[in-house]
Each structure stands twice: as C-alpha cells, then as structure tokens.
Chain A
C-alpha cells in the first residue's frame, strides 16, 4: 500500500506543481493578487507531497519490499540499514525523486523567506520554480517511475552497486544535487526579473544568499566526490577530468563567477544584463550535467545506465528551460542601461576580470568535454580529450586569475590607484615570491618553474586574504569592533583557494608512487619511509568477502603505522572492489592498495606518499565555510 501511496503522492505533487507554476505567473501578468497568493501554499503543499513520496520509497527499501522493481534492483537482504536508506538515490529513478524533493525544498524555503520580497517578484520566482518542478516530476512519472511493481516479487534483490556502499559516496549525491538544484533559485530570480522587466539591483540583492547557498553545497558535494575517488577507486589521484566530473565542475565555475558579479550588480548597479545571463548559464550547466550523465552521449567512468527516451526528454526540458530564459533575455536585456561608471583599475574592474577568467576557464572545460562529441557529430572521426589537455589549458587561465584575486579586495569601488595597490601589497607580493622560491629548496631540495608559480600564487592569496580583514578591522577602530560576516566569508573563501593550491602543487610536485611486486616479508623504500609487506589474510563483511594485505610502515626505525588495504568482492554483484588503506596526516598521506595475486604468494601493490594532499579538500571546505559565513551576514536576516 505504501508504494501506491507514494506513487499517488508523486502524481498529486505534479498537479500541485502545475498550479504553483501557472497561477502565480498569470496572476503577476494580469495583476490578480489572489492568484499570486496561491504560490506560497502551493510550494509548501508540493514539498509535503514529494516528501511523502520520498518517505514511501524509503520505507520500501527499509522493509526490503522486493515487489518493487527499483528496490529489487538496488537492495539485498544483506545490505546494511544505512545503505538501504542511501540506496533510494543509488540509481536513476530514485535519484530523480531526491532531485524533485530538493527542488521542492528550495521552493518552500524561498516561499518561507521571501516575505519582504515585492509580491509580484515572489510570485514570479515561485512560479518559475513550480514550472521546473513540473518538468522533473513529469520526467519521473513518464520515463522513470521508481514505484513500478515487480510481479511476482523477487526472492532477493540484486543489491546496491558496491561502489556506492561507502559513507562518503552515500552522502555525495544529495549534497551535489542540493547544489545543482539550488542554482534553480538564482535562475528563477533572473527569469522573474526578466518577466517583470525590472532588471534593477533588487533581484540581485535577493538572490545573493541563495546563490551562495547553492554554491556551497556544490563545493562540498564536489569535494566529497573527489575525496571518494581518491580513496575508493584506488588510483591515488583526486581529479580525473572525466566528463561527469567536469559536468559538476562547470556549474561550479559559473556559479563562482555569478557570486562575484551579483556583488557588483547589488552594490553598484553595474553588470546588470551580464549577471542575468550568468544566473541562467549556471543553472543551464547543471541541467547540461544531468543530461550528459543520464543520456549516454559521452563515455564516462561514472555514467548511469542510459535510455534514449530519457535523453530525449532531458534534452527537450533543457532546451525549453534554458531557451525560454534566453529568449526572454534577448527581448528584455537590450533595454537595460547601466549608469555606473568605473575605471579599468577599480573593484569593478577586478571583478570583471574575475568573471572573464572564470568564464574562459568554464569555456575551456566545456569545449574539452564536448569536443569528442562535436567531432563525432560532424563525422570527422573519434578522438579523446583527457587530463593532459585540461591541465595544459586550464592552469594558464586560472593562475592569472589567482594573481588578480589578491588585489581585488584592496581596490576601491569606481577607481583605484595602481601605485596605491602595489604600495599596500608590496609585502605580501615580495614575501610570497621569496617563500615560493626558497621553501621547496629548503624542505625538499628540488624545484620547478610551475611549482614556483603555483606556490607564489598560493602564498599571495593567503597573505592578502589575511591582510584584508586585518586592515579593515584596524580601520574600524580595532579592539571590540566586529567585521561583517560577509568580509570574513570572502577572506575564508580566498584563503581556501590558497590552501587548495598548496595541496595541488605540493602533491603534484613531490608525490611518490611505487608499483611493485611484493611477497611476504619483502621490504622496500618509498617517499622516505621503510615499508614491509606481511602477507595477506581473508576477512569478511556483512555482504562481502575480502583479501586483506598488511604493510608496516616505519621511519628511521620507528613504526609509523600498519596499513591494511583490501580487495573486496561483494557477494551479490560479484564485483571486485579496491579498498585503499590510508594513514592521513596534514603533512602527508601514506596510501596503499592491493592489486592482483601474481603467483607464489606474491601480489602486485601500489604505495603512494602524497604530501599535503589533504590540503586540497581542506581548502575546498574552507571555501564552503566562507560561503556559510557570507550567508549568515546580518544584512540577509
């Protein structure tokens, strides 16, 4: 019964979303207040219904109702409870329900926190969000119904994909989706502003905290995904430039640009039409990612099983949602005039450069990701674009951006003096250059130009990110005074970028990897540590069996740790899985994976010493923390 109830709730939610999508927009167009007032209750009701559907689906998983096809395909009687709950979003159909739930939640949040908003704008924003809900719920109902019955019921299920049976990956999709879906809010604000014909600073001010919220979810989601790939795939890397990874990175880059451009539109009334375009583009790219992952047009290590019908629906939805917004933009944006003036060297100027470089970076990633498809579609053959391209094309665009990033916060609005800036920042500039030059020699005795550039940029960003709030605090009168949270948020986010770059540069420059054949008792050296292999033994989990190797790691004769990497086989899907063993420290990770038996009791194995690799994820989390600080600023309350 719960299953039918869930299905019914989902269909009812579709009807309510239709009301939420149509009535308020018509009301706003014709000036009918009553119709506009339907938006809020509809948004709350829609959330309640989608939540009910979601709970019903979860109940089917918890009770292991194998008469539901989706449950039978993605759970098993041996599956631990935590993963039964996570299995709801373990495959296409359920993840769509989660997606719809989040969209409804964002809708309801906007409905709740928009009391100060002009009625018309609020009605339009909620209306646009309602229309997006219609699209997703229709997609779920027509092509991907998770409540479909399986008769007769299966005796046992096929189990959840083993790759997903991991705590980080279990929470990675919900966070990522929160980010993707959250970008619908600035999109809805932008479209509402276009519909109303009022592209002033109001919509920008209102969408700022929402954009930052979506961006911070996206940041944490991508970070978790990267961390998971690092320890679960066993390749020792943290980013592979796979199409699906790029699909999450693209909206992040554009959302980052949007956050900065919204600041200019809000504070100075400049970049008006550009900001609207970015808001549309950020959401367009998150829809594009959804399409790429679920339609099978690109080959990726992480794609969903695909179905052409779904691809067609998603493509249509993408084209209508983005095309409609861009058509509105084409018709309305030309009327927008910017009155604000500013000199090339000014806060606006730096933020303009930030936007240009972030968009160029996004453009490079987009072209690289789609290029094989473009060439294939034109009948020019097949080719691959991989990490070597992205690294070569992306880094030169990003490094100058990081340089400008240090100056930006110190530049005054409207006009800033170049000499003033250099005078203020002469210490961070020279100290970061000196440190970047000397430190690698002192600590490791090796150096390279790329490493110097990266480290200098990192130190520079960190230095300026600390100096800026310090100077502001002194200007406020020092002791007892408090800086606005938004200032601290920016500083934390920029600091995060610096920390991130240090992690990337040091790991890439000084990481050590050894691939070896090891037998019981073998000793070897890697990254300044003495490793010894102590053979393998069998271990068993709730729904898997594994072979576990043992490495003792010592330094200067003192034991540091014992690493126990596993090679797991999940009983139902009989898929081999690597479980890397990691000894993490801020300064370095010791990392070991077990490969294949090579005969005579020998195994292939890989050990890595990854210096400062944690800084990569710490930096990203620091960026997200900056977002949290910025949202909690007083002016948004």
Chain B
C-alpha cells in the first residue's frame, strides 16, 4: 500500500492548509501572559508631575489599553471602547504610546474619554517591556497584577462578548 503514501501526504497538507486558512499569521501571542506586569513608572498623560507605577495595577482587575492619536485603527475602535468603559465593568487604564501629549488630550476631549487614567509613554520604552508591537493592544491584568490576556488589534463587540466578558467573569471583576 506504499503507493497510497503520496496521497496520504497530500491530504495531510490539504488539511493543514484548511486549518491555516482560519489562522491569523500576523498575530503573535504574548509570552507575558501569566507573568506579573513589568515594572515601570510613567507620568500621567494629563499631569506630567504625577506618576503611575506597576504596583498600582494590583488590588483589582483592570484593562490596560494601548493607544495613540496617530493610530488610525484606534480611532475606529474608539466608540466600541467607550461603550465598554461606560458599562463600568472594570477600570480602563489608558496607555498612550509614542504620542504628543497635547494632541492626545485634545482628542480625548473631543471624542470622549473612556479611561480611568492615562499613562504617557513618550519614548515607547515601557511599551517594549510590555511586548507591545501594534496599536491598539488590550491587556487584562488580574488582582495580583498578573497579565491574563492580550488582544492585538481593535476590540469589537464580538471579542468583548466572546472573550473579554467571560474572562472578566472568571476573574470576578467588578464584584
């Protein structure tokens, strides 16, 4: 039956491609999931004098959202994020990435501010520690300050309902 071997190989390759068509080759999973958030200290977006550190991410479940005004996808995603933030499920910490402080503040004023607070990473150095590679990115951090989830790309209602909310339920967020 060795003459059937090529056919078997072909069917295996076909099956692989069939699965492959449903995958997203450009999305890279983060090795930080299950790890404590990286240590950092960043100024706030609206007040350069005050700063925010990794220690303040413990004690409650939070969503950390990486964004910038130059990021076109972030603008498109904004209404979805705004609606989610207004549900009050978890505090959304904004992570303003390689942006212009004045522009960012103006944008939030005009488009609505979903964030409990915003940190300002002007150089992008802290973002590297977080493994950020494309904006927007969304992290879920649990009570112990451990990263539990990361989504690259815009949040959609499907992702919020299908992935985010079940995870927040499991973590007991907002209770």
Contacts and interface: CB of A to CB of B under 8 A. Distances in A.
The answer to whether A and B touch directly, with their CB atoms under 8 angstroms apart, is yes
Nearest to B27: A382
A311 interface: yes
A538 to B, nearest CB: 27
A295 B21 CA distance: 7
Contact of B14 (A299, A319, A327): A319
A376 interface: yes
B28 interface: yes
B7 to A, nearest CB: 4
B18 A315 contact: yes
A323 B15 CA distance: 12
A312 B14 CA distance: 11
A600 B3 CA distance: 70
B6 A308 contact: no
Contacts of B108: none
A592 interface: no
Contacts of A327: 7
Contact of A299 (B13, B26, B29): B26
A361 to B, nearest CB: 17
Contact of B7 (A291, A323, A370): A323
Contacts of B20: 295, 297, 373, 376-377
Nearest to A326: B7
A331 B29 CA distance: 45
A315 B7 contact: no
Contacts, number: 70
Contact of B25 (A277, A297, A334): A297
A277 B4 CA distance: 11
A458 interface: no
Interface in B1-33: 3-4, 6-7, 10-11, 13-14, 16-21, 23, 25-29
B3 A330 contact: yes
B64 to A, nearest CB: 22
Contact of A297 (B3, B23, B28, B29): B23
Interface string A306-344: 001001100100110011001101110110000000000
A442 B20 CA distance: 53
Interface in B86-127: none
Given A315-B14, A326-B10, A370-B16, A296 B4 contact: no
B23 A333 contact: no
Contacts of B27: 382
A312 B10 contact: no
Interface in A280-316: 280-281, 284, 288, 291, 295-299, 308, 311-312, 315
A377 B25 CA distance: 10
A538 B20 CA distance: 47
A376 B14 contact: no
A interface residue count range (under 10 / 10 to 19 / 20 to 34 / 35 or more): 35 or more
A300 B16 CA distance: 18
A435 interface: no
B19 A377 contact: yes
Contacts of B13: 288, 370
Nearest to B31: A381
Given A318-B14, A322-B10, A376 B4 contact: no
Contacts of B25: 296-299, 372-373, 376
B20 to A, nearest CB: 4
Contacts of B4: 330
Contacts of A295: 17, 20-21
Interface string A460-501: 000000000000000000000000000000000000000000
A382 B17 CA distance: 16
A315 B21 contact: yes
Nearest to A377: B19
A382 B6 contact: no
Given A297-B17, A297-B25, A372-B25, 8 more contacts: A280-B6, A297-B21, A298-B25, A308-B21, A312-B21, A315-B17, A373-B16, A377-B16
Nearest 4 interchain pairs by C-beta:
A297-B20, A326-B7, A377-B19, A330-B4
22 contacts: A277-B6, A280-B6, A284-B10, A291-B17, A298-B25, A308-B21, A312-B21, A315-B18, A315-B21, A318-B17, A319-B10, A323-B10, A326-B10, A327-B7, A330-B3, A330-B7, A370-B13, A373-B25, A377-B20, A377-B23, A381-B29, A382-B27
Interface of A: 273, 277, 280-281, 284, 288, 291, 295-299, 308, 311-312, 315, 318-319, 322-323, 326-327, 329-331, 333-334, 370, 372-374, 376-377, 381-382
